[in-house]
Amino acid sequence: MPSQTASTTPARTAQERAFSWRFLTPLYVGSALNPVNSSLIATALVPIAHGIGVPIGQTAVLVTALYLASAVAQPTAGKAAEVFGPRRVLLAGIAAVGVGGLTGGVAPDLLTLLISRVLIGIGTSCAYPTAMLLIRSRAREAGLEQPPGGVLGGLQIAGVATASLGLPVGGLLVSGLGWRAVFLVNVPVAVLALATALAWVAADGPLKGLRLREVASRLDVTGIVCFAAAMLTLLVFLFELPTPHWWILALSIVLWAADTLWELRAASPFIDVRLLATRPALTNTYVLFGLVMLCQYVVLYGVTQWVEAVRGYSESASGLLLLPMTLVSGVVIALISRRNMVRGPVIAAALTALIGSAGLLLLDSGVWIGVVAVLTLVFGASTGFAVAGYQTALYSHAPQEHLGTAAGLLRTFGYVGSIASSAITGIVFHHQVSDHGIHLIAWIMIGISLGLTTLTLADRTLRSRPDQPTET
């Protein structure tokens, strides 16, 4: 026993040096910017409308802009990091966040604010895929097949579990400093992230005089453009619901078909269609993660609207009511990720989502408000289980040379789920937010959760060891 302790001590010391707080700080701070900004704007929409003199309905485009930009930019940033180096792309993204925050802080009109949100969306999207590549590189240097589970868990706590923090933080900023503070707050955070990344993240290797044509080929610019066009049209269709514009959906289908045909021929495909077809474990990871995120964001948006409209709570109070979701998901991620488990956590995620969805049927105008807090705890646990399990699955099943793109694509599926949740709440609450509407949302989520549970239990790829990807 003493000899085992002595032999493991140097290994632990090497891991601690490799993944020190200095190395991880800029990665975690950068990864938190995207989810926080996605919800930070919610409490500022009405003050923005009054401040720049536009109808309140028009400010919703500021929410849409970040989602659309992020959904496309996440895998694009991952691909760029594979070609140019993750540190370069991380620094460029942080700089874009700072510029976007400053632009929004001084914006005189809605168009300038829209540009600001796009810049913030693109910039914050660079953090997660580059962090995955940097962590993989550091693990290899330390002689590890996989990084310590706690490292990936911390990344996901920063990158997903912090989403609900934007609501209370935004409320405090708007009430104390005005609506421009939700943009300007990005500037000091970006400066901090930039300084720490420059100081503590090792520089990428030199670029070997890549020519423009070679860069375009390795990036697969045509594939990126096709993917962006197909994804944007799909998301616009979802955002326009409950008014369906079928021609937009038809255009999206055509663009997806064209993108698939191109990627099958590309020498260095942006989205490797053959890879997704031959690695069902990776494809299932994307789909199931998107369904879990759909459930989480229905709670973030749908239940929040119900608490404000039916129960009469303020936006800041309803935001504070959702804090348990963040806290519980963070705790679950921290505990589960250390063990690098997949099957157990994702099954737990599906079952807790089903339990929480059924629990929404308890909500009505007279129910004790503590029931809402309990339900957020359940969904927080579901999110934590899913994030820990699916990130481990992604790291294990994605080809290491395409980890950046694969990591970004996981976030894209999360955004598709969040946008689909927005469409669901928009359809149900189109005319009025009511008890009947929240119960209808509950039944919809029960159906989605049952599908999620069935697919998870039937997924044989989850039975494989994380370090031994299943291929067919």
Residue 230 lies in a domain: no
pLDDT of residue 4 exceeding 50, the answer is no
Same domain, 319 and 191: no
Same domain, 285 and 188: no
Task: Note the pLDDT of residue 430.
Answer: 74
Residue 95 lies in a domain: yes
Same domain, 105 and 193: yes
Confidence of residue 305 (pLDDT cuts 50, 70, 90): confident
Residue 67 lies in a domain: yes
Residue 242 lies in a domain: no
Q: Are 191 and 98 in contact (CB under 8 A)?
A: yes
Q: CA-CA distance, 401 to 204, in Å (whole number)?
A: 15
pLDDT of residue 322 exceeding 60, the answer is yes
Q: CA-CA distance, 110 to 215, in Å (whole number)?
A: 35
Same domain, 176 and 302: no
Task: Note the pLDDT of residue 11.
Answer: 54
**Max alpha carbon distance in the chain (Å)?**
72
Query: Above pLDDT 90, what percent of the chain?
Result: 22
Decide: residue 308, CB within 10 A, 0-12 exposed, 13-18 middle, 19+ buried.
middle
Q: Tell me the whole-structure pTM to 2 decimals.
A: 0.78
Instruction: Tell me the average pLDDT of the chain.
Output: 82
| pLDDT digit string, tens, across residues 408-448 | 888 888 888 877 887 788 788 877 888 888 899 999 999 99
Same domain, 187 and 330: no
Task: Note the pLDDT of residue 464.
Answer: 47
pLDDT of residue 467 exceeding 50, the answer is no
Same domain, 163 and 292: no
Residues sharing a CB contact under 8 Å with residue 174, sequence separation 6 or more, in sequence order: 43, 44, 47, 181, 182
Q: Are 169 and 36 in contact (CB under 8 A)?
A: yes
Same domain, 186 and 286: no
Q: Are 42 and 315 in contact (CB under 8 A)?
A: yes
Residue 357 lies in a domain: yes
Same domain, 426 and 277: yes
Same domain, 303 and 414: yes
Task: Note the pLDDT of residue 180.
Answer: 93
- Specify the CATH number for the domain of residue 111: 1.20.1250.20
Q: CA-CA distance, 465 to 106, in Å (whole number)?
A: 52
Same domain, 185 and 308: no
- 327-332 LR contacts (CB < 8 Å, sep 24+): 327/380, 328/376, 328/377, 328/380, 328/381, 328/384, 329/157, 329/160, 329/161, 329/380, 329/381, 329/383, 329/384, 329/387, 330/157, 330/161, 330/384, 331/384, 332/380, 332/381, 332/383, 332/384, 332/385, 332/388
| pLDDT digit string, tens, across residues 262-272 | 988 887 787 77
pLDDT of residue 216 exceeding 90, the answer is no
Same domain, 194 and 280: no
Same domain, 331 and 428: yes
The average pLDDT across 49-66 equals 81
Residue 241 lies in a domain: no
Residue 23 lies in a domain: yes
Name the domain count of the chain.
2
| pLDDT digit string, tens, across residues 72-97 | 888 889 888 888 889 999 999 999 99
Encoding tokens for residue 146?
């996989």
Expressed as residue numbers, the domain containing 124 is 1-201+210-216
Last residue of a domain, one of 216, 239, 255: 216
Residue 234 lies in a domain: no
Q: CA-CA distance, 471 to 398, in Å (whole number)?
A: 11
Q: Are 186 and 37 in contact (CB under 8 A)?
A: yes
